[in-house]
Structure 1
Amino acid sequence: MAIAAALWGTDGLLRLPLAGELQAGTVVFWEHLLVAVVLLPLLPSAVRALARCGPKEWLAVLVIGGGSSALATALFTAAFQVGDPITPLVLQKFQPLFAVLAAWIVLGERTRRGFLLFAVPALLGAWLLAFSDPLDVQVTALRAALLALGAAALWAAGTVLGRLVSAELPWRDLTVLRFSIGLPFAAIICAVQGNSFTVGLDNGIGLALLAFVPGLLALSLYYVGLSATPAARATLAELAFPATAAVIGVSVLNETLSVTQWLGLVIVVVSVTALGWHERRRKPVVVEPRRVEVVP
């Protein structure tokens, strides 16, 4: 799961050249369209697998595709557009807290006291990594704050609901359904925002890489890992995302990191790695109820 989150870190490198030429809704629409077309031959079997599930799984997949995939991205992008660039980054750090709470309510997961030994440093590291001066951060616009919190909540819901349906759906079917269901929602968002549905050929390679690397490839690995990983533990592994983004920013985009940001990078990497080692070698700090055997 950390590898999947690390691939998400390449998103900025691929999205940055597109941001100056295409509207956000257009990019989100084409991300879903390209993957949905490639996965179209697998859609009938995925629909049959979903039909064998109950209403609970149907609702979960609908929320994952429409909410966590399309709407969350649109909300997060809108938060940057209507407010300052700091607010979305600050409030996105609430995502692990939302995920742990939702995992407790929906999945019945419980975290032992030792979980804080990994969660607190990981969240602290993510905070240090996000800001060059971690002691000079101001959250201002209320609208931007609500949009960012909505995105964080939907992404957290995607983690928890993905774990829920993994007992009934193989990772392949869940991936297919996420993009296929997300496509009409992305189209609606694009239309409501008045964005264009057409793109030039010169943006084709960038859109394809964005759709298939931090998109299809990363999400496929993510669902493979999620089928055997409690949601509360998975949400900390997702913090590999900002760590990779920071490394790419420094090495490829010529950005610079402050001393505290480098410290945050080290803390995130060590915390996520230590959690994975601990869960394999020691008594797990995340406990989940007995689950149905995952579909092969």
Structure 2
Amino acid sequence: MKLFNIHNYLLRHVQVMLSSLGELWRQPVATTMTLLVIGIALLLPAGLYIILKNVEQVSGEWQQANRISLFLQNEMSDRRGEQLAEQLLTWPDITEASFQSAQQSLNEFREISGLQSLLDTLPNNPLPAVIIIEPEENQPQEATEALLERLAALPEVDLAQLDMQWLQRLRSINETGQRGISILAILLSLSVLLVIGNTIRLAILNRQTEIRVIKLVGGTNAFVRRPFLYTGMWYGLLGGVLAWVTLLISLLIISGPIDDLAALYDSQFKLQWFAGQMLFGLPLCGLLLGVMGAWLAVSRHLSAIEPS
């Protein structure tokens, strides 16, 4: 007998769940507009999250690219520059030191910039000779900065620059972006709760007479609440699926140009879609927000409707 009651209970839930979905299907315009609002609210923080994760991936690939560029004095000869590079190789915290003459720097810039005709009009070469230093791998950042100060103090060096500094700025920007995304996600989640809650409130007001009749014949608040909770669930779940589909389409549109840009820089970077995580996370997040919004709306307005 107990098993039979459980079977009826579950069957009733399935019937109400499908009936709630049917109610949404019979109101296509209103349902579509609500789903679009929910989908966009879920899409924005998810899209920004994916962008930040891909930026972190790029910066992570360059973590070991902490090269130090030594720009030498203009009057220094190439022979002296090569000797200085050989001397620097004897330092224990330097693994590689390669010399690049001023003419080589100009030729490289000419190929990259495409300004051959303009560069040919210059009276002399404005670019200095440079020594590219590769510090010892996995050493602390403080040690690398100390090495930079020692190199900058050399009389032959006009300027010493640590190439990792811009990556440090990028990481700071990423951390700021992560906090901004968290705040945005909280605000948009509240907006989803308000949208679903207001939608459920209107549905309750439109069915006041039906609710009074159900309560008059002995229907409990739990019985009356059930279809509205499933309606909120469907709104959140379908809104999450819509956000996921829109996100994939957006990533598909931008993936081609990003791959072309990576190829121009000889990078092996591939856009990470996180499709599996988003497929699980967005609908689940939408479902939870939908149920919470519906519960709040029903709890507030259902008690005010009593049979007269």
TM-score by length of 1: 0.24
Q: Which has the higher contact order (CA 8 A, sep 6+)?
A: 1
Q: TM-score, normalised by structure 2?
A: 0.23
Higher strand share: 2
> Considering only CA atoms, is the larger Rg found in Structure 1 or Structure 2?
2
